[in-house]
Amino acid sequence: MTTFDQLVRKVRQNLLGYALSQESVSELSAPMGAGDTTFTCDTETVNNLSRGLVEIDDELILVKAYDSTSGVVSVMGLTNGRGYEGTTAASHAVNSLITSSPAFPKVRIKEAVNETIRCLYPDLVVFGSTELTKLAPVIEYELPSEVEGVWYVTGQLIGPSKVAQPLPNWRYNPEARSANFPSGKSLQVFDYVTAGQAIKVVYSKAPTALVNGSDELTTTGYPERFADLITYGACKRLIPGLEAARLQLQSVETTERAALVPPQSAAKAASLYASLYAERLQEERTRQFDEVPNFATFQGS
C-alpha cells in the first residue's frame, strides 16, 4: 500500500528526475534535539556547508557557519533559525539526511499532496453510508456530521425477498435545526416505507488529509489506484515555483542555467502534468458513476 512518505518520494522523483538532483547531501553524526542551535554532520560526506537553508527530515534550518574540522554547523539566529519557513523544530536521529538548499522541501511537497487530495472533492467523493429505521410518524432523520451530500436512498421492502428499492422522494437538509438534530444535517423521506424497516443512505463526504509518513493513501477514503492522480496534481502545483526563480536577479536559474533551460520550460512542464491530471481525473470520475451509480442512474436517466 502506498504511504504518505512514498507519495512524497514519487512526487520528488517526478520533479527532479529519477537520478534525482545534484543537491549536496550529508548526514547527522550525532542526534539533534528540537532546541539545539548546533548540529554535527559527517565530515566524510561533505566538504563545505554554505550559509543558507538545509533540510533535515521535514524541518528547514537556517545555517550560519560550518566548521570543516569538527563538522559542527551553527544555526543562524539561534532558535530563530530552527523550524524555518513555517516548518517545525524537531528532534532528529543520528544518520538523518541533511540536504543543502533543497529544490523542493519535503514540507512543501506534503502540502501539495494534501492540497491535491482536498481539491479532488467534489469531483471525486468519498462514500459513507448509514442506516435509519423507519418510524411511523417521522419523516425527518438525523445524518452524521461528515455528510456533504446524499448520493442515493433505498428502503427495505417487507417480506423474505430482502430487496431494497430506490426511494425517489427525499430531501437532504444541510442546515437542520441543531436543537432537533445535533449534527446539523438531516434527511427528509417522503416515500412510503413500512414502519420498522431499514432505510439505507449512501452519502458523499470529503477526503481525510494525510498526517504521518506511515499513513496509507487509503486512509483518505480514496482507493490505492489514485496514487498517480495525486502525484500529477502535486507536480502541477509545485513546478511553477521553478519559473519564479528566473525572476530573481541573483538566482542560480538566472545566472547559470538560463542559457541551457529555455524560458517557460517550467510552465510547459506544469501544463503537461495538468493535462495528465485532468485525463486521470476524468477517468476516475467516469468510473465513480459506474461503480456507485447515483439516484439518477437508478431512474434510468
Give the domain-ending residue among 144, 170, 205.
205
Indicate if 71 and 137 belong to the same structural domain: no
Q: Where are the alpha helices (DSSP H) in 94-226?
A: 106-120
* 293 vs 154: CA distance, rounded Å: 13
Name the packing angle between helices 227-238 and 265-291 (round to 10°).
150
Q: Is 264 left (phi over 0), alpha (psi -120 to 50) or beta?
A: left
Q: What is the pTM of this model?
A: 0.86
pLDDT at 17: 82
Indicate if 238 and 119 belong to the same structural domain: yes
Indicate if 266 and 119 belong to the same structural domain: yes
Give the domain-ending residue among 155, 183, 205.
205
pLDDT in tens, the chain (301 residues): 999 999 999 999 999 887 656 678 899 999 999 999 999 999 888 777 778 899 999 999 999 999 988 999 999 999 999 999 999 999 999 999 999 989 899 999 999 999 999 999 999 999 999 999 999 999 999 999 999 999 999 999 988 878 888 998 999 999 999 999 999 999 999 999 999 999 999 999 999 999 999 999 999 999 999 999 999 999 999 998 877 766 655 555 555 555 556 667 778 889 999 999 999 999 999 999 888 887 554 444 3
Indicate if 108 and 241 belong to the same structural domain: yes
Chain length of the chain: 301
Indicate if 201 and 213 belong to the same structural domain: no
pLDDT at 245: 65
Q: Give the number of other Cβ atoms within 10 Å of residue 118's Cβ.
A: 13
Domain of 47, CATH number, reads 2.40.30
pLDDT at 291: 87
Indicate if 118 and 14 belong to the same structural domain: yes
* 250 vs 230: CA distance, rounded Å: 33
For residue 56, how many C-alpha atoms fall within 13 Å in the half-sphere facing its CB? Answer: 32
* Cα–chain center distance at 55: 21
CB 77 within 8 A of CB 62: yes
Give CA separation, 19 vs 192, 276, 283, in Å.
Answer: 64, 22, 30
Task: Cell numbers for 8, please give them.
Answer: 512524497
Indicate if 11 and 107 belong to the same structural domain: yes
Indicate if 214 and 110 belong to the same structural domain: yes
Indicate if 98 and 230 belong to the same structural domain: no
**269 sits in which H/E element:** helix 265-291
**170 sits in which H/E element:** strand 170-173
- Cβ contacts of residue 228 below 8 Å, gap of 6+? 280
Location of C-alpha cell 559527517 = 42
Indicate if 229 and 112 belong to the same structural domain: yes
Task: Cell numbers for 112, please give them.
Answer: 501539495
Q: How many domains does the chain have?
A: 3
What's 51's DSSP letter?
S
Indicate if 260 and 220 belong to the same structural domain: yes
pLDDT at 298: 47
Indicate if 7 and 47 belong to the same structural domain: no
CB 176 within 8 A of CB 170: no
| Residue range(s) defining the domain that contains residue 146 | 128-205
